[in-house]
Chains A and B, each alone.
Chain A
Amino acid sequence: MKVRFLLLSVAALVGSNLAHGMEVSGHLTLEGRAFEDGPAYAGQDNRATGAVIFEPELYQSWGNGDLAFEFTPYFREDSADPERDLFDVRELSLLWISGNWETKIGYSKVFWGVAESQHLVDTINQTDLAANPDGEDKLGQPMVQIVYVSDFGDFSFFALPGFRERTFPGRQGRLRASSHVDTSRTRYESLGEDERVDFALRWKHYIGDFDLGLHYFSGTNRDPILIPIERIGGLPRRVIPYYELMDQVGLDVQMTKGAWLWKLEAIARETSRDRYSAMVGGFEYTLYGIMDSVVDLGLLAEVHLDSRGEAAPVVFNRDLFLGGRFAWNDEADTSMVAGLFIDGNNGSSMVRLEFERRIGDSYKLEIELQKLASLDEADVLYPLREDSYLQVSLSRYF
């Protein structure tokens, strides 16, 4: 916490002293969610819900961008679930580029990986699960990142002082299990708890048709184990997150060959209790200009595997993802991704659809649909069986 505070103050100080000619951009979003069915659990809000999200970005650079300051706070206010309210610092950083060296200090976001249906190797930033069940939203992570760029690839070193806890929907919120996650009683394997300094190394390179990445991570696992502390009629009513320590190695590869993208992500993890591996792999094949139009259709197929099999406490253990990505290539950048997830063991399935389109110059409409069907009682998603939803959001960009 002290280290985090220090980073925050340094960055804020730099920001406030040099806030001159700063570039301001960002978005204000109104989001509404309606659920197909009534809630499955007592205490959950019964109505459609709404949220307001505000994410401004302040940016300033000096010396042709060799020194850059960035501040992106994030505010979210939900109509029903106070656990979904959030103030987060997505970015508050200072970047310094000197020849082949890059140094970044502060809160930041890093993306690793190549797959579409799951971001398995994307380890650094914690998931803001309360934001969206798809796990694409990430919390800012305090870090010192040093990158050396060479002819043999980019070598990155990360020191990560301070751990960010995953956000979960609260008692009143939908898209949760029978139990709600009590984040006030979070426990850690590390004696340093959330003040432990984690480390990571990453190598990223590009050779011909291949984009390659390797990483090593040592620190607190971003994925918590949920331990029941209160039961009612055999069902856990309250769980607390427990964050283990782990060592992880991972690989991500993409081969780009004509209209084909072949993708593979794999990790191997070791904790004090367990050792397992997982992978996601598949392809994206794009049909350009279908039916004599300018519309592109990308066909996606990805397979998820976890060495722990059905027992793995993750959504994707032996699953198949099939999807289509439409790009209209019009002036509104209209696009849609539709995907079907099928559990290879129990046949449970989930459909997700994401549509977006710009309106005028500065508005964007996004529609998202998630439908759970024929869920098996043994499936990790079974608790969400009543939570199929439609989400519509309108953003104003500035």
Chain B
Amino acid sequence: MNTYIRKNVLLKITAFLALSSGSLYGLTAEERGLQIAEEMDRRDSGFGDTSAELLMELRNKQGETSSREMSMRTLEGIGEGDKSLIVFDEPRDVKGTAFLSYTKKVGPDDQWLFLPALERVKRISSSNKSGPFVGSEFAYEDLSSQEVEKYTYRYLRDEDLDGEPCFVVERYPVDPKSGYTRQIVWVDQSEYISRKMVFYDRKDSLLKTLTFSKYRQYDGRYWRSHQMTMVNHQTGKATTLEWKDYQFGNGYSERDFDRRSLQTTR
């Protein structure tokens, strides 16, 4: 009898402590981090497809700029990663160059490049994920679709960012070829969208900060940032991505993301 009461009281106290402390619902920091990532993924799933125009501005330490223009379309993967097709329009010497990527939840992505001067489609290695995308401060892995399985997570704390309450979650790339040891993400608590990310390089030194701004909601549900700014703290360079003409529900099929479409899409 006595033992029973004591046990019961102990359980209640434990539960109370768990609820009031950081480890909500008795979850560990890892479980809570994963839960936040899964909720972000759940809220964004079902978008089907998107298309958008992309303006990329590269700025070096001296403040000199150069820009790239491209269009991008994405097909949501069901049970697999997303597919995306990027076609360049500027600079003019790379006009028509296209990049097709099949993201995998686990294992390396499949990627092809179309070179219009030779009419050649080339399968390329995806192990360059930490390399710069078209000379920008964005690595391939920063732009590929953010599948939950690509990281492990740890919830750190709650923190306000520009007056918005955020979860601060640290995540660790599963792929050993990633250019990062870890990333810290500020996740908006009301909408579960990324506000800011900080990247640490392989030596665990601060490398880059990515800021998401100009969020707009589509279909009363899906949030998309229309301006992303990546600042490299080690080189002083920065890249800004401006997204225009976001369209949902284009009715894309697998056919719009195959290697033939890589050759025929402008």
Contact = CB atoms under 8 A, between A and B. Distances in A.
Interface of A: 23, 25, 27, 59, 61, 65, 68, 95, 97, 99-100, 102, 109-111, 114, 136, 147, 149, 154, 204, 206, 211, 254, 256, 258-261, 286, 288-289, 294, 296, 329-333, 358, 361-362, 364, 395, 397-398
B158 to A, nearest CB: 36
7 contacts: A27-B92, A95-B264, A204-B259, A211-B123, A256-B110, A294-B131, A358-B91
A197 to B, nearest CB: 22
Nearest to A206: B259
Interface residues of B, number: 36
B81 to A, nearest CB: 15
Contact of A329 (B108, B132, B260): B132
Contacts of A25: 92, 95-96
B184 to A, nearest CB: 23
Given A149-B255, A296-B128, A361-B66, A329 B135 contact: yes
Contacts of A110: 119
A149 B262 CA distance: 13
A294 B119 contact: no
B240 to A, nearest CB: 13
Interface string B237-266: 000000000000000000100111000111
A138 to B, nearest CB: 8
A31 to B, nearest CB: 15
Nearest to B135: A331
B227 interface: no
**A interface, over-half SS:** strand
Contacts of B134: 333
Contacts of A95: 264
Contact of A294 (B58, B60, B132, B259): B132
A358 B94 CA distance: 10
Interface string B1-36: 000000000000000000000000000000000000
Contacts of B152: none
A111 B119 contact: yes
- Which of B58, B91, B121, B259 counts the most chain A CB atoms within 10 A? B91
B93 A288 contact: no
A102 B255 contact: no
Contacts of B92: 25, 27, 361-362, 397-398
Contacts of A256: 110, 123-125
B125 to A, nearest CB: 5
B143 interface: no
B127 interface: yes
B118 A136 contact: yes
Nearest to A23: B266
Nearest to B237: A331
B43 to A, nearest CB: 29
B259 A288 contact: no
Contacts of B125: 256, 258-261, 286
Contacts of B128: 259, 286, 288, 296
Interface in B126-154: 127-128, 130-132, 134-135
B260 A397 contact: no
B123 A333 contact: no
A23 to B, nearest CB: 8
Contacts of B179: 289
B264 A258 contact: no
Contacts of A149: 255, 258, 260
Among A99, A136, A211, A398, the one with the most B-chain Cβ atoms within 10 Å of its Cβ is A211
A301 B66 CA distance: 35
A331 B66 contact: yes
Contact of B135 (A23, A136, A330): A330
Contacts of B45: none
B90 interface: yes
Given A102-B264, A149-B260, A289-B130, A261 B123 contact: yes
A114 B121 CA distance: 9
A333 B124 CA distance: 17
Contacts of A260: 125
Most buried by A among B67, B108, B266: B266
B95 A147 contact: no
A100 B132 CA distance: 35
B264 A68 contact: yes
B216 interface: no
Contacts of B93: 27, 333, 358, 362, 364, 395, 397
A154 B260 contact: yes
Contact of B266 (A59, A154, A398): A59
A330 B119 CA distance: 24
Interface string B76-107: 00000000000000111111100000000000
Contacts of A358: 91, 93
Given A136-B118, A330-B135, A362 B91 contact: yes
Contacts of A361: 66-67, 90-92
Nearest to B64: A331
B156 to A, nearest CB: 29
Interface-centre pick from B110, B120, B125 (highest chain A CB count, 10 A): B125
A27 B90 CA distance: 13
Contacts of B255: 99-100, 149
Contact of B60 (A68, A100, A331, A398): A331
A295 B252 CA distance: 36
Contact of A259 (B58, B119, B121, B127): B127
B206 to A, nearest CB: 16
A317 to B, nearest CB: 24
A148 to B, nearest CB: 10
B85 to A, nearest CB: 12
A288 B66 contact: no
Contacts of A329: 131-132, 135
A398 B131 CA distance: 28
B66 A65 contact: no
Contacts of A109: 119
